[in-house]
């Protein structure tokens, strides 16, 4: 079963007399449990594609279907609720709230829906991401990699249908380099 399907996705920008085709007819299917990395040079449309997949921006044309639901036709309010409940986001700039500690940042989307957080699940995520000792730290007390892991924990905590991450994976999990 596909958790994500994209059909003929296009995103065009008009810049003066020029038309920039950021995405031009993208088709994509991702099955449940599958991982996909989108790589490319700066300006190749990776972030634009992620924004279209997550309903953060509207395509010029085409369809995005997540967990059987075409999000392209949802109203702004419906899309906001759908994103909060079904799509986990991890952004390059983390989007952590500076006046909330790690735990509060993680459970915020859950509480916005009026749902009681599953604290056992949150503790598992914190342990998995090696953040259990940082639970009550403020974002400015964390390294960039730790902040990005908090953003990942927040995405996982809602138990989403899909996670979209625009990240440097080395800062999340560490990379080995040689000289």
Q: pLDDT tens digits for 83-119?
A: 988 999 888 788 999 999 999 999 999 999 899 999 9
DSSP symbols for 129-145: TT-GGGTT--GGGS-HH
Report yes or no: 50 and 166 within 8 Å, Cβ to Cβ: yes
Directed axis angle between helix 119-128 and helix 144-157, to 10°? 150
Per-residue pLDDT band at 178 (split at 50, 70, 90): very low
Residue 7 sits in a domain whose CATH number is: 3.40.50.300
Domain ends where: 73, 104, 128?
Answer: 73
Q: Is residue 175 part of a domain?
A: no
What is the percent of the chain where pLDDT is above 90?
69
**Together in a domain, 104 and 57:** no
**Shared-domain flag, residues 94 and 67:** no
pTM of the model: 0.82
Query: What's residue 165's pLDDT?
Result: 86
Question: Could you say which of 19, 44, 73 is where a domain stops?
Answer: 73
Residue 132 is assigned to a structural domain of this protein: yes
């Amino acid at each position: 079963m596909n958790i994500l399907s994209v059909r003929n996705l296009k995103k065009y920008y008009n810049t003066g007399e020029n038309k920039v085709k950021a995405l031009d007819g993208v088709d994509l299917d991702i099955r449940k449990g599958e991982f996909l990395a989108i790589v490319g040079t700066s300006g190749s449309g990776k972030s634009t594609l992620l924004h279209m997949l997550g309903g953060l921006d509207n395509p010029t044309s085409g369809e995005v279907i997540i967990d059987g639901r075409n999000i392209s036709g949802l109203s702004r309010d419906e899309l906001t609720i759908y994103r909060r409940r079904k799509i986990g986001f991890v952004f390059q700039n983390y989007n952590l709230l500076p006046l909330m500690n790690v735990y509060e940042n993680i459970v915020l989307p859950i509480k916005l829906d009026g749902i009681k957080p599953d604290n056992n699940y949150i503790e598992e995520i914190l342990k998995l991401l090696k953040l259990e000792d940082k639970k009550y730290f403020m974002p400015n007390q964390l390294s960039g990699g730790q902040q990005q892991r908090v953003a990942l924990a927040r995405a996982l905590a809602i138990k989403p249908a899909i996670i979209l991450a625009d990240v440097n994976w080395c800062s999340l999990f560490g990379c080995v380099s040689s000289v």
